[in-house]
Amino acid sequence: MTSSLVSGGLISGLNPLEAQAASSRKLTILHTNDTHSQIEPLPNDGRKYGGMGGMARRATLVNQIRSQEKNVLLLDAGDMFQGTPYFNYYAGEPEFKLMTALKYDAATLGNHDFDNGTQGLARMLPFAGFPILNANYDFSNSALKGKFEPYHIFEKCEFKIGVFGLGIKLAGLVPDKLFTGVKYSDPVAVANEMVSQLKQAGCHLIVCLSHLGFEAANNSISDILLATQVTGINLIIGGHTHTFLDAPKTIINPQSGHETLVNQVGWAGINLGRIDFTFSGKENVKHSKSEVYTLN
């Protein structure tokens, strides 16, 4: 399943020097969410999505895109753990090792990433060769103290891209004993603070890795609600609700008129999302292309 808002020929018709300059001003963001320890393709036994996914296929596609594009970020929106015997037997080690081999740039935490408790997660972190971001959990009284960054700033195509992470309220989703000492803070207040800090740091594009869920029926905090209450986020890459979107949803903040893209690509690594941005100046960033690649 593929969705494209603009044809892929962004630099066709340009001379080589112009094409090179255009490529250097283009950023490609690839993303996954809720992969749930699905290292191999789903069993091809007649189930929905049977035979799809698999980290080997993802690696092949990611490497192909990296060979074609100069500036690429690979991001994940949480729930990397839980769902197959790989997690039951190895507690997250192969998931983190393979994500490291795929050269993920950053991820955030989902509720299932706490399924072996804070100490179990802490034991796995040495296998993660990429930053795991969360800004609204306070880990200072837990086994995870000092293990995570609230945000990370990447420099691509001579521009700064600020990425921060937000997690869902764990109480009621995760047994209390598994997140002992972890304190949750309001995602809206934290997101506003993150936007302020990242703008002060000179970021030209701000991305939120969210495990809040795409939309909530009870009007609790979700990606859609976050976009209406926080100004300055360019892209929210979401997880938790396993929502399959063919293209990102554009949310216009009713107070400021700021546009935020919200995207999510299902679960189990069936899909890889792609969103391209082009920079035509320090203050001019445009969403130029979106695709969803199905791995089958």
Average pLDDT value over all residues in the chain: 92
Let me know if residue 12 belongs to a domain: no
3-state secondary structure of 57: helix
Let me know if residue 169 belongs to a domain: yes
pLDDT recorded at residue 217: 79
State the pLDDT confidence band at 280, using cuts at 50, 70 and 90.
Answer: confident
pLDDT in tens, 171-210: 999 999 999 999 999 999 999 999 999 999 999 999 999 9
Let me know if residue 239 belongs to a domain: yes
pTM comes to: 0.92
Let me know if residue 2 belongs to a domain: no
Domain that holds residue 83: 28-294
Instruction: Name which residue leads in pLDDT, 10 or 6.
Output: 10
The pLDDT of residue 14 is above 50:
no
Dist. CA 161–CA 148, nearest whole Å:
18
Dist. CA 287–CA 110, nearest whole Å:
27
Instruction: Name which residue leads in pLDDT, 18 or 196.
Output: 196
Let me know if residue 182 belongs to a domain: yes
Partnered with residue 236 across adjacent β-strands are 208, 262
Let me know if residue 121 belongs to a domain: yes
State the pLDDT confidence band at 18, using cuts at 50, 70 and 90.
Answer: very low
Let me know if residue 150 belongs to a domain: yes
Which has the minimum average pLDDT: 3-7, 38-42, 91-95, 237-241? Answer: 3-7
Share of the chain above pLDDT 70, in %: 91
Dist. CA 113–CA 131, nearest whole Å:
15
Let me know if residue 20 belongs to a domain: no
Q: How many domains does the chain have?
A: 1
Q: What is the CATH number of the domain that holds 113?
A: 3.60.21.10
DSSP 169-231: --BTTB-GGGGTT-EE--HHHHHHHHHHHHHHTT-SEEEEEE-S-S--TT--S-HHHHHHH-S
